[in-house]
Structure 1
Amino acid sequence: MRRKGLELLPWTPELRQWQARVALLRSLDIDKSATSEWPDLSDAQLLATLEHWLMPYLGKVTRLSHFSQLDLSSILRNLLPWPLPQQLEAQAPQTIQVPSGSNIRIDYSEQPPILSVRLQELFGLSDTPRIANGRQVLKLHLLSPARRPVQVTQDLANFWRSIYSEVKKDLKGRYPKHYWPDDPLVAEATARVKPRGT
């Protein structure tokens, strides 16, 4: 296993996101106090400690192809002592609700984590969303109605104040049926072409 690496195991994109969420909370703790209750579940640490966390599950593994049949998700999730699983969901959630009411998935594969969301779904929101009890600001990938990138920012207030009016002109030309208010801070957020009743 050490020669072949952790890629022998049945990783899924969702499990890699889970691993990144744990790593983020560990990193935020270490940045603040040099210690963390969150375990180090990095690939390097998992490889270095195979005997402790993987060995108990290898009783029926006799060939390389058997590794793909392990329930890796359960094995790794068991490494989080109670109440950390609940804290993980609260502090580094898989999704976040935006003003339009949509629950948007957060991508933890980069630092800072990315929230890709259509611009109109954030109308009325003055500050960039945060997670981890306010310790981590999200990087916003603001999208057009066709889900194409429009702007990347970690400062939503500045975007509304300084950049939105220029972006609005361009988007209004390309998406004339959509709602492009003059003041996005008082406008109703929507996941539709226009808010209800307009």
Structure 2
Amino acid sequence: MEIRNYKPADEKGWVRCRVLSFLDTAYYDDVHREKETFENPSIELVAIEDEQVVGLIDIEYDTKDEKVCSEEGTGGMIWHLAVHPDFQGRGIGTALMERAVEEAIKLELEFLEAWTRDAGHSADWFEKNAYRKVDEYYHLYLSDEDMAHSVQPGDDNLQPLYMFAQYTGDDIEQFDSIERKYKCMCYIRNL
């Protein structure tokens, strides 16, 4: 396996790797048809095996003029970290992370920040890799049935079929009947 900088020719493999790695996670519907580009500078790495993208990590980082991260100081936001499901459990994610940490240290970043959901193994993975939880809120996916009981649109011509929402309040229990409810947690790794 080789870890190297992302190249535009990797885009199709990058998209496939990301989509497949997210299928069995709480992010299964976060599908993109092309690779995201960033306004700020970024660290973009891929893991290649047999000429296939088997892992990826993208970190957009703060500049003195533009803040990406929520914490004070100069940091990097991990937007994507994924390993193709056929290659998981081989240390590819850890290898990508450690290479990204090396690059971040060269750039004099002070920390890396990542947001993830409580479903699956990603929160445990971040904790095992020297990250600490510093914040949290909830993502809610409301079906048309959920909204019929809790959301009243102001326009009778507007009939929402589903809604994605962020909840930062203290009364999450009011949404106990919603099937897709995820705690989103922010993890920080000091460099």
Q: Do they fold alike, i.e. is TM over 0.5?
A: no
Report the structure, 1 or 2, having the larger helix content: 1
Report the structure, 1 or 2, having the larger strand content: 2
Higher RCO structure (Cα 8 Å, ≥6 apart):
2
How does the TM-score come out when normalised to structure 1? Answer: 0.22
How does the TM-score come out when normalised to structure 2? Answer: 0.23
Larger Rg: 1
